[in-house]
Amino acid sequence: MRIESTDLADVLVFIPEPFRDDRGLFTRTFDVDVFDGATPGPVRAASFAQDSQSRSVAGVVRGMHGRSGRGEAKLVRCANGAVHDVLVDIRRESPTFGEQQAFLLDDVEFRHLYVPPGFLHGFQALTDTADVCYRIDRPHDPTEDLGVAYNDPELAIEWPRAVAIVSARDAAAGSWAQLLQSV
């Protein structure tokens, strides 16, 4: 498994190396030793408490979501299809505070995105269906949910497709300026 750093502080991309033959492929999607050897700070493989999966149709945008309090760490991958995945650093002490970066996650390269606590996260489905899997380090607490509108003009996220569907919650999300007052 290869590991790549990103332009955002502490965010890593894990890239499995699938074995392909006439039957299809086999790949390891997670390895405790590799993860623990690569990630900085207190989050260890044993820290993950939940696995979740979403299925979206082409053009759907989910996000931009985050958590207050101590935040949450995630390991995100696209098991089926492809998504345009976006992170925004909301850690005031971070050298990349306020910066964003986009990643292609798909079922060809199987990239896994390690998202440390303190980031907004969202994605857009690029294929007819896209299944995104999340490994999360603590149970969800709705009282800690943060959100910024996917089309906030200050963030100016460039979604690659026309936005087809967003949830009512995401459509009603606040602005980047409002979030900055709370973090």
Q: Which residues are catalytic?
A: 65, 134
Q: Nearest CA to 98 among 155, 147, 149, 181? A: 155
* Cβ within 8 Å of residue 41, ≥6 positions away: 10, 116
d(CA 35, CA 159): 30
What's the CA gap between 137 and 160, in Å, rounded? 30
- Cα of first residue to Cα of last residue in the chain, in angstroms, is 35
Question: Could you give the C-alpha distances from 151 to 36, 42, 95, 142, in angstroms and in order?
Answer: 35, 33, 24, 22
